[in-house]
Amino acid sequence: MTTVTTVKNKANPYQAIVMGVSAGGLAALKAILPGLSGQMDQPVIIVQHMSPDSDDFLVQYFDKLCSLRVKEAEDKLPIKSGTIYFAPANYHLLVEEDRSFALSTTERVQYSRPAIDVLFETAAEVYQDGLIGVLLTGANTDGTEGIRAIRAHGGYALAQSPETCEAATMTRSAIDAGVDAVLDLEKIAPFINQMISKGKAPAK
C-alpha cells in the first residue's frame, strides 16, 4: 500500500531524519538503513525499544551493512551529517537547541526508555520544517505524540503501512492521528532518498 500527499517545495532542504521502532525493529531497519544513500548529508537518529541491559549490537550490526557511519549517541555529542545514531539502552535521547544530544534517565514514557516521543518532540522543536519523522513497526502507541509534534512544527511524517508491520499498533495509532505518507516497508528507503535529494516528497 502507498498513500502519499504531495507537499510544496520547501525553501530549505530537510536537515535530519528521526526514526522510531519497537517490535520487529531489526527486520524493519534492515530493510531501510542499508538502502539509504551514502551521499546523504542528513543525520539519521533512531530510537529502538530495547531491554535496559541491551548492548551495542545494533550499532555494530548496522555499521557493517550501511554506507553511512553508524554510532551510538552520547551525551553532549554534536550531531554530524551523514551519520546514523542509535539511542543507547535505558536512556531517553533528546536533541538540544545547539544540535547536540542529551541523555536522560527520567521516567519512562509509554513504558519505554528510550522513548520515541521524547526524541521526536525534541527534534521537532530544533529542526522545525527541516525534519522527516519515520514511524515503524511496534506494539504500543509510543511515537504518536511525536508525530503530532513533527507535523505541528512543519516537518514531514511518514508511517510504515500496518500490513507490512510485524506489530501494527504503533503505526495505526500514528496514522489515525495524521501522517503525510503511509508506505510499505520496501518503499521507505527509496522515498527518503528522493526526499533528501529533491527537498520535497515525491509525487504520488
Catalytic, out of 92, 117, 142, 161: 142
User: Packing angle between helix 25-32 and helix 185-198, nearest 10 degrees?
Assistant: 40
Catalytic, out of 22, 112, 161, 173: 22
Kindly provide the b/e burial profile for residues 76-88, where b requires at least 16 CB atoms within 10 angstroms of the residue's own CB.
eeebeebbbbbbb
Q: Is 142 a catalytic residue?
A: yes
Q: Is 98 a catalytic residue?
A: no
User: 149 and 121 in contact (C-beta within 8 Å)?
Assistant: yes
Q: Is 49 a catalytic residue?
A: yes
Rounded CA-CA distance 135/5 in Å is: 17
Q: Which of 84, 78, 72 is nearest to 192 (CA)?
A: 84
Which residues participate in catalysis according to the annotation? 22, 49, 142
